[in-house]
Amino acid sequence: MDCADTVDRSEITKAFRAKGIWVLSYLAAPDDTNPANCFHYICKDKNYNMDDLNANSRRDIRRGFRSFNIRLCSWDELLQKGYPAHADTAARHGYSKPSMNELPQMAQQQRSFPFFEIWGAWDGDMLVAWLQVVKVDNWAMINIVRSCTASLRMCPNNALLYAATNHLLCNEKRAYVTYGLSSSQIDVNQASMHAYKLKMGYEAIAMRRVFMPRSSIKLLVTSKLLALTLTRIARTFPNFAILKKAAGMCQQISGCATASTNVNAEHINMSQKDETQ
C-alpha cells in the first residue's frame, strides 16, 4: 500500500460500511479539471545526508546534535516527560491547552503495535522535543512533532527530523518517508512550514486532496452556507483546531476554498527558489 495510490471505488464503499465514518480523505493526481490543492512532502533519497543540504540546514542540524541527545524513546518515557513539549506546541499554534489525558490515551491505543516509534531530543532528563514515526509496508510517515518553546533556538526539531529520516531511508532502506500534507485548516500560514520541509531535504509534490462525504450528509456538507458558517465560527473561536479543520474541509468540499486552504503556486515557487540558493 502506498499513501498516494489510486483509490478504488470498492475501497470507498467498504470504508463507508464501518460505523462512525462520515468523511473520507484521499490523494489524487491533479489534472486540468481538478487542479492541485495541497502539497505532499516526500523524501526518497537513499543517500540522505546533511552534506547534501544547504549551509543553513547543516548548521541547524549540527546545533541540535550538539545541544541534545537524539535517540529512540520508550512509551513510558513519553508519558513521563512528553507533555511539556505537547502543551507548548499547542500554545504556539494558538490552540487550547491539551488535556493531560491525551498522551496516555494515545499510548494505550498504540504502544502494543510495533509500527509506531517515538524519537526524542533530550537535555539531561528533559524531553525537550519528540516526534512519532509510523511505518507502513516499505515506507514511513512523520506523524506528530512536538517541542518545548524555550528549546527552539537550539534546533531540536531539525536534529530529530534529520536523525529519523536518515535512519528510515539509509538504515532501514525504506522507499520513502512522508512528512504529510500541507494543512487544510483555515487561516494557517503555510509558508514557514513549507520552507522548513524543503530546507530539510523533502520534496513538495503537488497533489489533489479529495474529501468524500457519506451520501447521507453530502447535501449538508456541500453547502457553501455551511462552509461560510463554520468559517465564521472557527474565526470566533480560534483556539479550537477541530473547528479550523472542519471549516477548511467544508470549504474544499463546497468549492469555496480560500487561499489559506489551497496551495499558492506563485508563493511556493518563490520559496523553492529561495531554498536552492
For residue 133, give every residue at least 6 positions away whose Cβ sits within 8 Å of its Cβ, in sequence order, or none.
116, 117, 118, 119, 140, 141, 142, 143, 164, 168
What are the tens digits of pLDDT across the range 116-174? 999 999 999 999 999 999 999 999 999 999 999 999 999 999 999 999 999 999 999 99
Q: Which domains does the chain carry?
A: 1-42+177-275 (no CATH), 45-174 (3.40.630.30)
SS3 content of the chain, % helix, strand, coil (to 5): 45, 20, 30
Q: Which residues of the chain have pLDDT under 50?
A: 1, 259-261, 265-277
For residue 28, give every residue at least 6 positions away whose Cβ sits within 8 Å of its Cβ, in sequence order, or none.
6, 7, 34, 207, 208, 210
For residue 187, give every residue at least 6 positions away whose Cβ sits within 8 Å of its Cβ, in sequence order, or none.
234, 235, 238, 244, 260
Please tell me the predicted confidence (pLDDT) of residue 17. 78
Quick check: pTM over 0.85?
no
Cα separation, 250 vs 256, whole angstroms: 8
